[in-house]
Chain A
Amino acid sequence: MGGKSFFIDTSICTACRGCQVACKQWHDLPAEKTINRGTHENPADLSFDTYRLVRFREVVVGGKLQWLFFPEQCRHCIEAPCLETAGDPGAIYRDDKTGAIIFTANTKRLNADEIIEACPYNIPRKAPDGTLAKCDMCIDRVENGLLPACVQTCPTGAMNFGDRNEMLALARQRLAIVKKKHPKARLLDPDDVRVICLVTEDPKLYHEFAVASSLAFDISRVVALKRLIRPLTNLAARL
């Protein structure tokens, strides 16, 4: 399988959040009004204006305090439930070269809640008018030979981007090394997504949706069903 992929090594993420701002900077996204909620994590959730969010979690594992950081973003699924659910390539499509899943302004005509429900990682967010937004892999940058903004700005090498084969190889190589120190280390859904995360602890400790929910996998059956009836429903929508 070709295309591009990210490899996110959370074991070396320092939560400097350069990525979170670089994403807003490149995409000209406005800031949200936030308050301190008793945590450094902010904003509280992804939104139509926030494609990327670093999660902060304090956990005690084996008597040892750990501060786990997890950068949340669209995983650009190989088989993307959002795309399949939408069935409307004018609204959600896969970029041939990279494999990026791209949302356009036409997402406004989709059933937003259905798309959000379909996502195994709870990523897409809607504007008041129903338009959906999420990470676009900085496809304009990538097509012009630049790294996605979040990757370029990462100081430690937690964020990586490149040809899928190379990223998979890098992920496996890092996993082997990290495992020596953190036996529970694993890659999250590496075969299903283009954003491969390495975690050192149980993924549920990082964030509820760090790993694909089993509920979402059930959705693939729904999707399969939908695929059969889609031409009709879509046609109906256009008429």
Chain B
Amino acid sequence: MRITRRKFIQVSGATAAGLAVSGLGFDLMPVKAHAQMLKTKYAKETTTICPYCAVGCGAIVHTSKKGDGRVINIEGDPGHVINRGALCSKGASLAQLTENENRLLEPMYRAPYAKEWKQVSWDWALTEIAKRAKKDRDATFIAKNAKGQVVNRTTAVVSGGSSALDNEECWIYQALMRALGLVYVEHQARI
């Protein structure tokens, strides 16, 4: 179970109340039992860079070591020399980007003219995608253009994206697209 901050206050509040009413009058002294344990105390800490704008702010990700292994907290990294712990509203909501019930968690397929998505397996999806890419690439492959110059390309299969990929992913992605002969290879920098 994830102990939320609110639950925690309830627990500690109850303790404080128990202490406070002991004795006569209203001595404030015993009230010390509020949340002294951080929710991040036993979490795995990793550093990351914010995936939104290109300032490149550092953040610390706290991941539960036990239980579901999910994110407990993400906050600005005070040791990062650019943002020194700061994050804007988007960066501050990174935990909710990750632990979000709206996320797509299974490959989905929509058949021609269908009104609904259908859940499919990764292997089926990638196999079918590869088949279609090959079929249409081969059918529309142009070895020479109208002038008779070698061009070895297709313009009927196209790609858009992505600056949402890591550098290493960008490289292998463009390599695969270009190996297939795509020239319509574009991404967000053109927006």
Contact = CB atoms under 8 A, between A and B. Distances in A.
- A–B contact via C-beta, under 8 angstroms: yes
Interface of A: 16-18, 20-22, 25-29, 87-91, 93-96, 102, 104-106, 136, 139-141, 143-144, 146-147, 149, 152-155, 231, 234, 238
A16 B88 contact: yes
B87 A89 contact: no
A152 B10 contact: no
Interface string B11-43: 011101110110001111101101111110000
Interface size grouping (class) on chain B: 35 or more
Closest 5 A/B residue pairs (Cβ): A104-B13, A90-B17, A140-B35, A21-B92, A155-B86
B5 A22 contact: no
Interface in B62-121: 73-76, 78, 83, 85-89, 91-93, 95-96
A102 B34 contact: yes
Nearest to B57: A155
A23 B2 CA distance: 18
A104 B12 CA distance: 8
B88 A18 contact: yes
A228 to B, nearest CB: 13
B9 A105 contact: yes
A102 B9 CA distance: 10
Nearest to B95: A25
Contact of A18 (B4, B12, B39, B89): B89
A140 B31 CA distance: 14
A139 B26 contact: no
Contact of A90 (B10, B13, B36): B13
B190 interface: no
Given A25-B92, A27-B5, A153-B85, A93 B16 contact: yes
15 contacts: A16-B88, A17-B89, A20-B89, A21-B89, A22-B92, A25-B74, A25-B75, A89-B28, A90-B16, A94-B28, A146-B38, A147-B85, A152-B76, A153-B85, A153-B88
Nearest to A147: B85
B147 interface: no
B13 A140 contact: no
B96 to A, nearest CB: 7
A226 to B, nearest CB: 13
A89 B86 contact: no
B86 A152 contact: yes
Given A21-B93, A95-B34, A89 B20 contact: yes
B164 to A, nearest CB: 21
Contacts of A87: 26
Contacts of A26: 5, 73, 75
A93 to B, nearest CB: 4
Contacts of B83: 155
